[in-house]
Amino acid sequence: AQSVTQLGSHVSVSEGALVLLRCNYSSSVPPYLFWYVQYPNQGLQLLLKYTTGATLVKGINGFEAEFKKSETSFHLTKPSAHMSDAAEYFCACSNVGNEKLTFGTGTRLTIIP
Amino acid sequence: DTGVSQDPRHKITKRGQNVTFRCDPISEHNRLYWYRQTLGQGPEFLTYFQNEAQLEKSRLLSDRFSAERPKGSFSTLEIQRTEQGDSAMYLCASSLTAQETQYFGPGTRLLVL
């Protein structure tokens, strides 16, 4: 079985400040890890994913995440927040042989002008 | 626009009525997934298809739920005798193959009165 925990259901940062959204996973086999973003009344859009290889993954809109096996983490960061980053962010995992995505409960990111 | 489309986007129904949702995946995507998202939660897996074959169903999918994907193209999700607990966003996703990125549609928001 696999699970995803997102610490902090709400995160507020000032415009221009660092964004850090936390994600920890539990998986008995090597995971595939994802970050999705959801804007109000819309579906989910993939920000980035880790499958194998380089542990630092760069995604769209300036986001990146680092897979740390020792910490079972896949935190999402962005150096400088923009007002358009305000949305809900979901971390998810799957793995070889179990392709369905298991999602965390989400983190709502608010940007303070 | 060649993304995943879902119809309708919103559905309000009375308890006990049947509802049917449609999902059109990205052309040539073999895998099609259904997820359900309730307020304040991440999406939860319901079922998925490889072409027209339904490969897995979550225990969340009670006997009142049925999904089909005739001819391996669009899919329908039917809920019979709706209950207030069925109120949620129903998300559809498709991927080219098993381990490829899942692309999500905008969802169908169901409200059962």
Confidence of residue B1 (pLDDT cuts 50, 70, 90): low
In angstroms, the CA A91 to CA A21 distance is: 9
Q: Is B107 on the interface with A (CB under 8 A)?
A: yes
**Residue B30 and residue B51 in contact, taking contact as beta carbons nearer than 8 Å:** yes
C-alpha to C-alpha distance for A109 and A55, rounded to whole angstroms: 24
CB contact under 8 A, A99 and B104: no
Q: Which residues of B touch A49 (CB under 8 A)?
A: 101
For residues B9 and A9, what is the distance between their CA atoms, to the nearest angstrom? 26
CA–CA separation, A52 and A103 (whole Å): 19
Q: Give the count of Cβ contacts less than 8 A between chain A and B.
A: 54
Mean pLDDT value across chain B:
93
pLDDT tens figures, A19-60: 999 999 998 888 899 999 999 878 899 999 999 888 899 999
With beta carbons less than 8 A apart as the criterion, state whether A1 and A97 touch. Answer: no
Lowest-confidence region among A1-5, A77-81, A93-97, A100-104: A93-97
Out of B44, B91, B99, whose CB is closest to A43? Answer: B91
Q: From CA A23, how far away is CA A13, in angstroms rounded?
A: 17
- Identity of the amino acid at B75: S
> Rounded to the nearest 5°, which phi and psi values hold at A24?
-120, 145
Within 8 A by CB and 6+ apart from B92, the residues are B4, B6, B21, B23, B25, B32, B33, B34, B35, B75, B77, B104, B105, B107
Measured between beta carbons, the chain A residues lying within 8 angstroms of B102 are 46, 101
